[in-house]
Amino acid sequence: MKQHPALAPYAAVHPYGLGDLLHEQARSRPAMPAVIDGDHTFTFAEFHERVNRLAGVLRAKGVKRGDRVLWLGQNSFRVIEALLASARVGAIFCPANWRWSVEEIAFALDDFDPTVVFWQEAEVGTNMRAARAGWSSPNGNWICHDGCPGEDEYEALMATADPAADFDPVETSTPLLAVYTAGFSGRPGAALLSHESLIIMAWQGMMAQAIDEESAYLVSGPMFHVGVMMGTLGTFLAGGRNVFVARVDPVELLESIQANRITHAFIAPPTIAQMRAANADGRYDVSSLFADPQMSDYRIPLVMPAQAPSMKRMGGYGQTEIGGLSSVLWMGGTGAGRSIPFIQFMIADDAGVEVAPGETGEIMARGPLVMCGYWNRPEENARRVVNGWHRTNDLGRRAPDGSLVFVGPKTTMIKTGIENVYPAEVENCLRTHEGVADVCVIGVPDPTWDQNIKAIIVRKPEAAHPPESFIAHCRERMASYKKPKIVEFADTLPRTAAGFVDRAAVDAAYGGGGYPKVG
């Protein structure tokens, strides 16, 4: 909409980026600690000055609006420093997975085409150098942050930069954070989240996890993961302190919790078990952790948010592309709950037309919380937007109370005759059968129908239902073409390290194949 001319002067007032948020924190809580990392502690005023210096370094290296900056290293306060410096100059910042292989780094260099690459010698140097040798971009600048003779060095560049440099305001809708996600077109793509999306995400994280200016967040999870970024930025927004550790080591985490009076953390359950073992004698004081008092006899309590009584009801639905968790139980309802501000959802068919309430379809999302698209993927971006909605590639439905229900990923699709069938939908139906303990639905090649639907079922210990019972169960509850034609029983299903059913392994063991291409 064209703005009314009388309102023109106010257009200059509205730009607000993550760099502005830092400026406000430096003014409104200058002496409070912002980041802690080993021997480094910087207040918001000091951090603001460092970010200004680094933004000046980026500018001097030729980084302009929309240019890319890549971080090849482990967790560090400098990841947030580089993110905020990128925010100041309007660049796009990507924290890479430091475990990437040479091939993966080489792919990201070509795909993301960064103007500046921040890197570290430890853990990453060898692979980085091999990938860098094959990269021929003329405008790549390399800045090392853990001391590398003969290379541009982070702190040396910072020392010569202007702490009071001035930068033009950045529009709130400008892309800022790039996160590589699993590829739907066969290769990973970098989802771009705007300043606005990140601030909304931070606000929801701060609210859901009851983070305030007294909080201390242990940044122990991977910073290329949107869930960790939500906690880190939520703490930054609240004026709390972020405490960084480069790697996940149970004893180092315990030491940091005690030393820094950590209140919030993002730690995976297997690590929690290791921490409990390491603290069996209670040698580390972890009482600062904001966790369920009922868990205190474990010494190291379960710090997963679901256990903290003052936090909101956790759980929901999200994906990196929609700014992380954005349908949440703390907004009410069942299943995956209801949407947070600045996003809306619709369940639609393949043409982007809303389905009837209760029917399963693809979850569509729109609003400023949704990503700006994938970097360098014009075709995928065009395919993923329909009628002004972002296609999540996930299946869902509305519960009778309107809550969003996540059904499963849409990407594995079975083609039988002219019909598309999503295994997740058939599996969800079979799980309502009293005899089912676990289930995986696959497609097996068929000369006439392209594929037939086959269900691999783990029956409950006492269950002895014949195959027909499961087929009939589905026929009564779904369109007939969705029912399994073949049922096979198994004692267990193969699973991935993350605990999900390993579909590729099930396919290999039970004759799956002949899937149509998606996307």
State the Cα–Cα distance between residues 446 and 327, nearest whole angstrom.
39
* Helices marked H in 35-170: 44-60, 77-89, 102-112, 125-133, 154-160
Residue 428 near residue 438 (C-beta atoms within 8 A): no
DSSP result, 27-38: HHSTTSEEEEET
Per CB under 8 A, contacts with a copy of itself among 88-127 are 90
The footprint of a copy of itself on residues 453-512 (CB under 8 A) is: none
Query: Within positions 334 to 363, which residues make up the interface with a copy of itself, using CB under 8 A?
Result: 338-339, 341-346, 357
Single-letter code of the amino acid located at 202: A
- The answer to whether 29 contacts a copy of itself (rule: CB under 8 A) is yes
Cα 329 to its chain centre, rounded Å, is 18
Q: Show contacts with a copy of itself in window 7-26 (CB under 8 A).
A: 7-10, 12-16, 20-21, 23-24
Residue 404 interacting with a copy of itself (CB under 8 A): yes
Contacts of 8 (CB under 8 A, 6+ apart): none
Task: Give me the phi and psi of 35, to 5 degrees please.
Answer: -135, 145
Identity of residue 180 = Y
176 vs 272, beta carbon nearer a copy of itself: 176
179-238 positions binding a copy of itself, by CB under 8 A:
192, 199, 202-203, 207, 212-213, 237-238
Q: Judged by CB under 8 A, does residue 370 bind a copy of itself?
A: yes
- Kindly state the tokens that stand for 483: 């029912």
393 lines the binding site for a copy of itself (CB under 8 A): no
376, 393, 412, 469: which one contacts a copy of itself (CB under 8 A)?
376
Q: Which is nearer to a copy of itself, 121 or 171 (CB)?
A: 171
Q: At what angle do helices 195-208 and 226-238 cross, to 10 degrees?
A: 80
Single out the segment in contact with a copy of itself by CB under 8 A; choices: 4-12, 149-157, 271-279, 503-511: 4-12
* Residue 371 in contact with a copy of itself, rule: CB under 8 A: yes
175 is an interface residue for a copy of itself by CB under 8 A: yes
Residue 170 makes contact with a copy of itself by CB under 8 A = yes
Q: From residue 120 to residue 159, what is the string marking binding to a copy of itself with x (rule CB under 8 A)? A: ----------------------------------------
Nearest Cα residue to 251 out of 274, 280, 285, 218:
274
Q: Give me 279's structure tokens.
A: 């603290």
Tell me: does residue 258 bind a copy of itself (CB under 8 A): no
Using CB under 8 A as the binding rule, whether residue 377 contacts a copy of itself is answered as yes
Between the CA of residue 113 and those of 70, 175, 183, 353, what are the distances in Å? 9, 15, 18, 37
Tell me: does residue 177 bind a copy of itself (CB under 8 A): no
Residue from 332, 445, 516, 519 touching a copy of itself (CB under 8 A): that is 332
Residue 94 tokens, joined: 């990507």
Which residues lie closer than 8 Å to 513 by C-beta, 6 or more apart? 443, 444, 445, 507
Tell whether residue 311 is a contact of a copy of itself (CB under 8 A).
Answer: no
Instruction: State the nearest-atom distance from the C-beta of 400 to a copy of itself, in Å.
Output: 9
User: Measured from the CB atom, is 47 or 374 closer to a copy of itself?
Assistant: 374
- C-alpha 317/C-alpha 326 separation (Å) is 6
CB 347 within 8 A of CB 360: yes
**Would you say 193 or 453 has its CB closer to a copy of itself?**
193
Q: CB of 394 within 8 A of CB of 413?
A: no
E strands, 145-298, in order: 152-153, 175-181, 189-194, 216-219, 241-244, 264-265
Q: Which is nearer to a copy of itself, 238 or 426 (CB)?
A: 238
> Which of 174, 232, 263, 428 is in the footprint of a copy of itself by CB under 8 A?
174
Count, residues near a copy of itself per rule CB under 8 A: 81
Residue span 37-66 as binding mask against a copy of itself, x where in contact by CB under 8 A, dash where not: ----------------------------xx
